[in-house]
Structure 1
């Protein structure tokens, strides 16, 4: 580092009341100092002046052993005059701080100031926790021109049991269907276990639509029976309760009418519900197409 620059720095520090210290000898365990540190002398300040006089500072000159080399060693008078000039400039620059006691204004280099001229990247969108996945288990069964979508208990280990198949066959015969029913195709939701996966209502609605399209592509169907609240709400894509949807003939798509009623599991547990199920199916008998 340039010795004259260090002199000026120490003058500024002393002017604002900060004492600077330099080692007089090598310190054990410390990194070696630059050569100018050992030659630096900090003389006493002049009486009545808060700035130091660097008249006794030694300046190392390069040794050039050529005829053109000149002796550039500065005498005490020259160094003292230079120090006095630097001292005056330093005092003038910090005079407002000393006289008014107010902090000096530093250049605006904060990040907020730089943001006015530098385009900042947009902050990433923070997403909230994933919506809790609905628990639904649906059985899709085809019998002749009839589609049955039944709501099964989501927590039950048994799927579409033999009792469910027997009751469904009786419903199909009551509706005039003589063809045997197909095996039940189950749709269980959520599909995978994981709190970070998006398996909310919108994803379930997409899955039900896809399952319905694949099922209807297998056979021409004109009537549909939606048994249980889950089947009625997710196939019809409505939010009403099952009691509000039961016994009403809906048009699921052109030439495809459907009725909602209680699930097969409910009818098996409470036999008196079979009579209500039969009454709910009447619009499909009165208007078969």
Structure 2
């Protein structure tokens, strides 16, 4: 229990004027008797003021004013000969303010998340989606499938790395725009810079993120060729994980490969 002086200091700080403890407090001063008495209810009495009777002179003045109002007639203005009639003054109508066209606000979309690796095999460059977000290992099932595709295409099955993987978003925090449009511009500029150093006959886009942010396509672009400014001829392939989950897609991929493989096999 706290001493009396500290207790009163706490109550003053909380702006408590009067209080009663529920139990007997040690080291506390005795309560004042007037605080223990129940408060008396105050009875409010409504006082109704009676209006005073009007005096006789006031009544007479009111009657004379009403009689004068009845006798007085409105004056009618008669136009004189030769006088010009008054023209009605027409107040100009304020022009309505022109509606200001609201500029469409740019909606910021959430940044996409993907990891891409740029490789080179023979006369072809490959932009491949990393299924796990980490670089390929020699025993990864996805990497083994990629080597099988390169052998079927008549290309070396040991591709060369071109730079570090591209991971998006670039920054975890910050106010920089990292939406889909910014990702597309970054990936295209990155790949175009590498292809300028080492030109290729065809660019493989393996996986939906590579197709979307390098070739500006979608899932309907699988097994098709397209021309992308700055990147040249691009060939869209399903992702390695998708090919492993749906083996039936390998047949369509092989048929498309037979048509386009002449690009990099031509002497």
**Structural mapping, 1:124-163, within 5 Å:** 130-153=108-131, 156=132, 158-162=134-138, 163=140
Cα distance change of structure 1 residues 150 and 255 upon mapping to structure 2, 3 Å threshold: closer
Aligned to 2:68: none
Equivalent position of 1:237 in the other structure:
216
Question: What SS does structure 2 have at the residue aligned with 1:281?
Answer: helix
Contact 1:228 1:262 in 2 (8 A): yes
RMSD over equivalenced CA pairs, Å = 3.0
Deviation of residue 181 (structure 1)?
0.8
Q: Which residue of 1 aligns with 2:183?
A: 204
Q: Give the ranges of 4+ consecutive aligned residues of structure 1 lying more than 4 Å apart after TM superposition.
A: 127-130, 286-289
Alignment match, 1:276: 252
Partner residue in 2 for 1:170 = 148
CA distance in 2, matches of 1:287, 1:140: 19
TM-fit CA distance, 1:253: 5.0
In 1: Cα distance, 2:135 partner to 2:157 partner: 22
Q: Distance in 1 between matches of 2:134 and 2:256?
A: 27
Distance in structure 2 (CA, Å) of the matches to 1:264 and 1:144: 20
- Asked if the contact 2:129–2:239 (Cα under 8 Å) also holds between the matched residues in 1, the reply is yes
Whether contact under 8 Å (1:259, 1:281) holds in the other structure is no
Q: TM-score, normalised by structure 1?
A: 0.48
Aligned residues: 160
Q: Is the 8 A contact 1:133 1:199 kept in 2?
A: yes
Q: CA deviation at 1:157?
A: 5.1
Q: Distance in 2 between matches of 1:233 and 1:225?
A: 13
CA shift digits 1:151-178 (9 cap, x unpaired): 234xx35443433332222222222223
Summarize the Cα distance change of 1:200–1:255 in structure 2 as closer, same or farther, 3 Å threshold: closer
List gaps (5 residues or longer) in structure 1.
Answer: 1-126
**Equivalent pair of 1:246/1:280 in contact (CA under 8 Å):** no
1:84-108 CA distances to partner (integer Å, 9 max, x unpaired)?
Answer: xxxxxxxxxxxxxxxxxxxxxxxxx
Change (3 A) 1:158 1:144: same
Counterpart selection for 2:224 from 233, 244, 248: 248
Q: Distance in 2 between matches of 1:206 and 1:170?
A: 31
What is the TM-score normalised by the length of structure 2?
A: 0.51
CA distance in 2, matches of 1:256, 1:196: 33
Distance 1:232 1:129, change over 3 A: closer
| Cα distance, 1:188 vs structure 2 | 0.9
Does the CA contact (< 8 Å) of 1:152 and 1:265 recur in 2? no
Which segments of 5 or more consecutive residues in structure 2 lack a partner in the other structure? 1-104
Q: CA deviation at 1:216?
A: 0.9
The CA deviation at 1:129 is 7.5
| Closer/same/farther in 2, CA of residues 161 and 251 from structure 1, 3 Å limit | same
SS in 2 for 1:170: helix
1:129–1:193 Cα change, 3 Å = farther
Aligned-partner Cα distance in 2 for 1:266–1:225? 16
